[in-house]
Amino acid sequence: MTVGPPLVYLVNPPMAVDQRHGRIEKIVKNLFFNSPPLGLAYIAAVLEKHQVPVRIIDAGVEGWTFEETARRIALESPGVVGVASMTMLSSNAVRLAQAIRALLPSTTIVVGGPYATSLTDEAMANDCFDVACVGEGEYTMLDLVEAIRNGNDLSTVQGIVFRRDGKLVRNPARPQIQDLDELPFPARHLLPLDQYVPQPNDGIYLPKFSMITSRGCPYRCIFCEHSTYGVSYRSMSPRRIVDEMEELVNRYGARDIAFVDSLFMVSRQRVLDIVDEILRRKLKVHWTCTIRANIADEETLRRMKSAGCWRTRIGVEAGNDEVLKFIRKGVTKEQMRQVAQAADRLGLHPKGFFMIGHPTDTEATIRESIEFAKSLPLTDITVQFNTPMPGSEQWAIARDFGTLTTTDWSFFSFWEPVFVPHGLTVEKMLALYRDFYRSFYFRPIIFWRHLKMLKGLGDIRRIGRGMAIFLGIFGPMTQSGKRGAR
């Protein structure tokens, strides 16, 4: 008698009560539930393709507790449960796995994601996890399920660390997927798509969906963590990309698609090939993407707009050329100014992403970043605190340039200052952060740029919601709770 593959549950852990209603409440409510977990959806799609029964639970967006999530999973007694783990939410993954273990003592519980990949030993120090999936998870999970189904030794599965007789066994790394076209479309049908709400200033056209069309990044910015996808750049073909866009339009009614690749614009030719495929098929859908100022030019941006692009996002990071050089951004202020101006001329509503608290930042260089942001024709900005992450180059040098105020991963959200460069304080960084937003947005030109984007009553409500979120930035933002090494 042939034994079928075990049922697999893939789970995004819940949010704890103190996360939903504590110091990071605004972050959780406004940033964590904007789009589906495509990483889980890709793994599910590969499992489905190979006739493995699979479910996805995004417990955070559902608003379930740890115990409720575990009970819902236990109802079907799955053979394997995969738990996603962001580094800042690693304690959530552990807490959920413990709750599942209490109800399903014989189920194989797998931890995957950035935390499991960059801090494998720490993750596996929790005996609620049987296996850590290191790196890309699609074929690792498939091979793991098949090994469990057939009773094979787990040492045959590349890309995992598992526990045997109380000791960790580290299998050889799994080679990266070179042909991304072989991956099926993410299994979005397994997710509660109506519960993901884009940020108001990014949600002009609804429904909005996200796509990832490449993996890896050849650039060596010191703040990036490359442990999961590496530095080798791999891209889907233009045909495969536009096939998925068509599915989003025809199956899910998408009016807007956000390309959220680490690096969408690796070259002009790649972008132009995608644009040509969109135009050839006469696909009508809005879309946004991040561009690199050392690659984009006005003609490429014009072609992008003709194919439906309505917003470009620019990773500026800093407004001081020496800081940009130190973090190895590979772009100058003048290049960013030129591309922002070109995008503005074409009506592409450029948005800038900034970080404060780089290793060589001072109050003067951060104020220079603020003034630089104000000098650019940006419609919106996002400002985060530079956060050294395990696996990034700056993690190794952080203590040479400043102070890590905690090693409690729950503070590593990019929205709280856990790294303070020499000469600055937490209080000064918080003040500069608020001043960055306040001085950028409280200008008549910003109100005018947003008014020009209004199309109806729905947009007025959207802007009202955006203002409520924005004003929340100026509420008390303190790092309450005990800090320090765990």
pLDDT at 295: 96
- Give yes or no for residue 473 having a pLDDT over 60: no
pLDDT at 142: 98
Is 433 within 8 Å of 166 (Cβ atoms)?
no
Q: How confident is the model at residue 279 (pLDDT cuts 50, 70, 90)?
A: very high
Q: First vs last Cα of the chain: how many Å apart?
A: 50
Residue 477 exposed, middle or buried by CB count within 10 Å (0-12, 13-18, 19+) = middle
pLDDT at 469: 59
Residues belonging to the chain: 486
Q: How confident is the model at residue 434 (pLDDT cuts 50, 70, 90)?
A: very high
Tens-digit pLDDT profile for residues 302-319: 999 999 999 999 999 999
Q: How far apart are CA 380 and CA 215, in angstroms?
A: 26
pLDDT at 118: 94
Q: How confident is the model at residue 467 (pLDDT cuts 50, 70, 90)?
A: low
Q: Which residues contact 276 (CB under 8 A, 6 or more apart)?
A: 238
Is 331 within 8 Å of 292 (Cβ atoms)?
yes
Q: How far apart are CA 133 and CA 129, in angstroms?
A: 11
3-state secondary structure of 256: strand
Tens-digit pLDDT profile for residues 147-173: 999 999 999 999 999 999 989 999 999
pLDDT at 482: 40
Task: Look up the pTM and report it.
Answer: 0.93
Q: How far apart are CA 236 and CA 459, in angstroms?
A: 34
Q: How far apart are CA 130 and CA 101, in angstroms?
A: 10
Tokens of 131: 């296996």
Q: For residues 387-408, give the mean pLDDT.
A: 94
Tens-digit pLDDT profile for residues 29-85: 667 778 899 999 999 999 999 999 999 999 999 999 999 999 999 999 999 999 999
How high does pLDDT run on average in the chain? 92
Domains of the chain: 8-170 (3.40.50.2300), 198-472 (3.80.30.20)
pLDDT at 479: 43
- Give yes or no for residue 477 having a pLDDT over 90: no
pLDDT at 269: 97
Tens-digit pLDDT profile for residues 51-65: 999 999 999 999 999
- Torsion sign, CA atoms 69, 70, 73, 74: negative
pLDDT at 33: 78
Tens-digit pLDDT profile for residues 220-234: 899 988 666 666 899
Ranges assigned E (strand) in 148-262 = 160-164, 167-170, 208-211, 214-215, 234-235, 256-259
Query: In the Cβ-directed half-sphere of 267, how many Cα atoms lie within 13 Å?
Result: 7
- Give yes or no for residue 423 having a pLDDT over 60: yes
Q: How confident is the model at residue 451 (pLDDT cuts 50, 70, 90)?
A: confident
Lowest mean per-residue pLDDT among 149-158, 216-225, 277-286, 413-422? 216-225
Which of residues 377 and 22 earns the better pLDDT score?
377
Most confident of 129-138, 404-413, 475-484: 129-138
Tokens of 365: 């260089």
Lowest mean per-residue pLDDT among 282-286, 288-292, 462-466, 476-480? 476-480
Tens-digit pLDDT profile for residues 315-353: 999 999 999 999 999 999 999 999 999 999 999 999 999
Q: For residues 93-120, give the mean pLDDT.
A: 97
Q: Is 470 left (phi over 0), alpha (psi -120 to 50) or beta?
A: alpha
Q: For residues 88-112, give the mean pLDDT.
A: 97
